[in-house]
Amino acid sequence: MAEIDHCCSTQLIDGEGEFNVVGLDNFIRTTKLTNCGLSYAVLAIMGPQSSGKSTLLNHLFQTNFREMDAFRGRSQTTKGIWIANCVGIDPFTVAMDLEGTDGRERGEDDTTFEKQSALFALAIADIVLINMWCHDIGREQAANKPLLKTVFQVMMRLFSPRKTTLLFVVRDKTKTPLEYLEPILSEDIQKIWNAVSKPESHKDTPLSEFFNVEVTALSSFEEKEDLFKEQVAQLRQRFFNSISPGGLAGDRQGVVPAAGFSFSAQQIWRVIKENKDLDLPAHKVMVATVRCEEIANEKLHHLSSNEDWLALEEAVQCGPVSGFGRRLSSILETYFSGYDIETFYFDHGVRNAKRKQLESKSLDFVHPAYLNLLGHFRFKALEDFKSRLEQMLNIGEGFAASICTSTESCMLEFDQGYADAAIKQANWDASKVKEKLCRDINAHALSVQDAKLSELVVSYEKQLGQSLSEPVESLFDNAGRDTWASIRKLLTRETGIAVSEFSAAISSFELDQSTVEKMLQDLKDYARNVVEKKAREEAGKVLIRMKDRFSAVFSHDNDSMPRVWTGKEDIKTITKGARTASLSLLSVMVAIRLDGKPGEIENILFSSLMEGTVTAVSSVDRSITTSDPLASSSWEEVMVSPKSILITPVQCKSLWRQFKAETEYTVTQAISAQEAYKQSNNWLPPPWAIVAMVVLGFNEFMLLLRNPLYLMGLFVVYLLSKVMWVQMDIPGQFQHGTLAGQISISSRFLPTIMNLLRRLAEEAQGHQTDEPPRQQCSLVFQS
């Protein structure tokens, strides 16, 4: 009970409508409400008499509002409006308990205070609990529909709109799931809102801008008390942080500071008491409202089943329909005119309001067919645009001109269809559909433009690739001092031709200058990349090209004729020239020089590799001295961009070492061929052989003058000896042309030669034989 005493329950307005100013001030002072600033909330509860409103508040917020005594029968318990502090709720929350509606004490006709109190609650509270029995859902009076309708209408005229949360509390929930009850309540409250006559400023304002509608359900307090208390405890949690974002009153507006709460409440009640519009509407207005609504609903039902309309709707599903607007306007006018005739004698204001509702609902009903028709017009216009654009481009029309002409034609076609579909009862706006058509046309035009430009770019890139790749490769084949100058000249010429032709080709697209410049620059960059890519490919084959260059220069004379090593050639000079030519090729391939910047690469390579100025590795610290410009992985002292380097200094050094090793054999072969040529052209035997023959064969030589056969044999012996000392070799012992080799060969065959000479001498001294001279000669040669 200690906590309940803190609720400070106070009657704010008595049953006669008198405002309790002293009691409110005492409540504010006792609860220290003025210290809350804007951090407080106000909630109210309304509903039928004896529906358990006070009981619900007491269980929810630990208040002590007076509850009905069931043993004394159902009678009025709460008179007027009472307020109390919600104990244990953060933020500070004021609860208002309103007198029940539809009570027998006030009677059937005295409902003014009910309207006033309900309007006061909606005007001052952030959250309004509408207490109702579950079995009353769908009813008119028991569900407080007339009360809410009147209060909504007057509230909008009297007070500035403020966001209020309407929390429908369904009591004594039955087996019917809440999911089925909630849509019915939401529909009822929406109907009440739609039926309210609104000022022009809020004519089209939706309910959601004024109210948040939520629904909850509780079990019977008498039959299922434990379950009821459990559900109430869960509901209580929703009132904590109610004014925070996402809370029950998180989006409230126009909050009065706590210090001005008393004055604000007094002024609101005074305005409500003085307002005559809170009286019950006239009987004829009520009758007119009900009957006009029935007639309007009947006309709308007949429209939905009209055969002409159904046929028109079915036709629209398949495609564009000619005369749609005229035919639909005639159908609608039939039902609108019928409504006017049947409601002629009813209240003018109600009749016109219901007619506007009929027009709105009818137009909403046929609007989807109208949008479907516009969709057909949009699709057809877009397809026609695509077809016209393709035709114009095929006959050679400029791209921008084709786009403009095709767009104008298709938009005119759409406007004609839109005009034919318009109905006189509505002023429907087709701007969104037209904007969609424009976006689709622009998107297709842009895609075609991108495709055409891509084709042109690919075509000219292919042209540049063909005009640059092979010529650049050819220039690298014959690389020399002017190679990069020739490549730059070739690149400039071919790029200029391609850029000029490409610029003329894209002129019909009417692109902005920045786009054109970017595309032209991209084409120039592509041409440069072709050259750079080819240079990198050729740099990878530089060793092969160096060997080919060396072979070409070393093995051919100045007239490009193959060299014959006769012994007169200066092999050393020729070798140096061939290596110089190969090194020159290497210097060309070291870096990309499209910017024309001078470089010292060639001089560095020649001084380091050809002239032998490279410092050897130190035997002490095994480190390469700084005087070796090739002992580095970058050309730091050369004016070449790092990205342009193809072969680093240390790679050049390694390539040159490998090149010399692989070309050394060619030089050795040339020297051997030169020596062999000299030996083959020497007709005299070695001097020692001449002395041996003179000493050992003096007698035989004297017979030479007397015996021609001997002379012939001597000649044969000479030839044999010549062949032996020039062409014979003993593997693993001697080389051709050396003195030791000649002595070795001659010493092996010298006895044979001397035997032949002796045989010839014996024949010449008179050994007689019966064989003819020819046979004698044959025997000699056989020997």
CB-based burial label for 48 (10 Å; 0-12, 13-18, 19+): buried
Fill in the DSSP letter of residue 563.
P
- For residue 281, say if its preceding peptide bond is cis, omega within 30 degrees of 0: no
Q: Residues in the chain, how many? A: 783
Residue 46 pairs in a beta bridge with 130
Cβ distance 414 to 377 under 8 Å?
yes
Q: Calculate ∠ Cα 420-423-428, nearest 5°.
A: 100
Q: How far apart are CA 218 and CA 559, in angstroms?
A: 115
Cβ distance 316 to 372 under 8 Å?
yes
To 10 degrees, what angle do helices 649-680 and 542-555 make? 30
Q: How far apart are CA 641 and CA 636, in angstroms?
A: 10
Backbone angles phi, psi at 180, to 5 degrees: -90, -30
Q: How far apart are CA 193 and CA 199, in angstroms?
A: 13
Query: Quick one: which of 123, 2, 140 has its CA closest to 64?
Result: 2
Query: Quick one: which of 440, 299, 430 has its CA closest to 367?
Result: 430
Half-sphere exposure of 296 (CA within 13 A, CB side): 19
Residue 645: count other Cβ atoms within 10 Å of its Cβ: 19
Query: Quick one: which of 157, 125, 120 has its CA closest to 255?
Result: 125
54 has binding-site annotation: yes
53 has binding-site annotation: yes
Q: How far apart are CA 239 and CA 249, in angstroms?
A: 9
49 has binding-site annotation: yes
330 has binding-site annotation: no
Q: Where are the alpha helices (DSSP H) in 196-282?
A: 225-237, 261-274
Query: Quick one: which of 308, 453, 413, 282 has its CA closest to 369?
Result: 308
Cβ distance 119 to 155 under 8 Å?
yes
Q: What are the binding residues? A: 47-54
Q: What are the binding residues for GTP? A: 47-54
